Structure 1
Amino acid sequence: MSWVTFLVILSTLYTYCATQITVSQSTSESVSLGETVTLPCTLSGYSFSIPAAWWIQVKEEKKPRLLLWYGSDSSKGQGPGVPDRFSGSKDLSKNVGYLTIKRVLLEDDADYYCAIWHSPSNSLHSGTLHWGSETRSTYDLVYRAGLT
């Protein structure tokens, strides 16, 4: 088999495998002001042991804000100016990444997107960013009646 044929097969196999990766989130989460909320992000088709979960906050008429990325306790980062009330974690046995928001404030009312960076070479320079699908990819924090 020639190198060209091998590379074409390898590329096709990678493309097929990469398209099988899915990111799932539910649509909303209820929380009272001052409470803690944990938002899950489930990865299917690939082990969560390697990639990082990236969490982005989107508010109406504002630019998306990178909150944080979390690969492990030794491989994580906070977005510029993001308070430590926002933290990431993973449960590898469930293949789920989490965004935890402590002491929820009214200003935390936003959509929260989870994205997974998948790179066969474990590089930030080449790979694929996998998002949840449309409305299933966001969380709306819904405040309980009478407690806002």
Structure 2
Amino acid sequence: MQTIHGTPAVSDDAERARPGPGRDLTPLLAGAATAVGGIGAVLALAGSDSPLRGPFTLFFLLAAPAAAIAAALRGLDPFGRVVASVAGAVVLDMLVAQAMLALHQWSVRGGIVAVTTISALILLLVTVRRPRGRMTRERTV
């Protein structure tokens, strides 16, 4: 490492590896999306008359199943996974609505609970099915 005017020079690798504001916004955006979706679900379940209820609930109804389906599609490239997970979320929402209408059990709260339950089950199945680490098998001769 060289020093310039008595201060150690910082290499490019050290500059990129150093955490700080503006370095990686993915966790921040994921947290904000989770908060918006959670608020939407709570507002819909509580029956609030807030003007944010509609957009936040719609975001929840698209984001929760899309995140669960995206977790199951780890083998696809990022763009393909986004397209497939959003399409799957729309299909799941439509199937829940169609089933509830066919059974004459439609309600906003029931739809939110059904989509939440199905999304949680998909995530649970993905986490149970995914192996924790590589298992090495010893060969016996």
Q: TM-score, normalised by structure 1?
A: 0.28
Q: Which has the higher contact order (CA 8 A, sep 6+)?
A: 1
**Greater share of residues in helix:** 2
User: If you compute each CA radius of gyration, which structure gives the higher value, 1 or 2?
Assistant: 2
Q: TM-score, normalised by structure 2?
A: 0.29
